[in-house]
Amino acid sequence: MAEKKVATPMNAGLVEAAIRRHVDHRANILIPEAEIWGGIGSTRGSHRADFVYITKAGYGAELEVKVSRADWKADLDKPKWSTRGFPPWVTRFIYVVPVSLGIPDFGPSQAGVWHVESNVTFLHDDRTRVLSDGFRIHVARAPHVLGREKVPQAVINKWMTSFYYRYWEQRLHAERRVPKAIREGSTC
């Protein structure tokens, strides 16, 4: 029986699904689309993180999803890398990318890189079978420690409140797309 690994086209949704599987949500907090404030005085501002990962010890890491080299290069022009910086409770910054992107020489050296790869194996014998449990993440480069503070509880509370309201808005939007007869259980 021959085994063959097959490369699967990667998109942001698959990378995000790999992150959700990789981070143990029973012990850690994973918040999508979190707003991060940084800088001092005139450089103060915010940016949206694809994910903020808060360990059970209370330290925060920003996870940034990139699926192309062009998108990755464009991220380096954002103020978070030049004028604004990160708050001291963002202790690590990690790019989560398809393994095919490698570790480019243009990325910040302090940023970690997690590679996402397909965990799909095709087994060939008299019948073709597919063994799959999705996509997996492995650490290609560990991030440097940027700060030493824990994420303040007030910041976590703000993110959780925002996440709560976004969840319900998305849920209501999805329900509006269901025909009224089905939504209300009418029999015709």
Task: Output the pLDDT for position 62.
Answer: 95
| C-alpha pair distances (Å), 43 with each of 52, 82, 83, 138, 151 | 22, 10, 6, 35, 21
Tell whether the model's pLDDT for residue 65 goes beyond 90. Answer: yes
| C-alpha pair distances (Å), 146 with each of 42, 93, 125, 173 | 22, 8, 51, 39
Quick one: pLDDT band at residue 70, thresholds 50, 70, 90? very high
Structure-token match 């087994």, residue found? 123
Question: In the chain, at which residue ranges do the beta strands (DSSP E only) sit?
Answer: 2-5, 29-38, 45-54, 60-65, 90-98, 112-124, 128-141
pLDDT tens-place string over residues 2-61:
555 555 578 898 899 899 989 998 899 999 999 998 766 666 778 899 999 999 999 999
pLDDT tens-place string over residues 122-168:
555 555 554 455 788 999 999 999 989 999 999 999 999 998 898 88
Distance CA 53, CA 56 (A): 10
Distance CA 127, CA 125 (A): 5
Instruction: Identify the bridge partners of residue 34 per DSSP, sorted by sequence position.
Output: 49
* More confident call, 79 vs 151: 151
Amino acid at 95: Y
Amino acid at 53: Y
Instruction: Identify the bridge partners of residue 38 per DSSP, sorted by sequence position.
Output: 45
Amino acid at 162: S
Distance CA 13, CA 15 (A): 5
Name the percent of the chain in helix, strand, coil, to the closest 5: 30, 35, 35
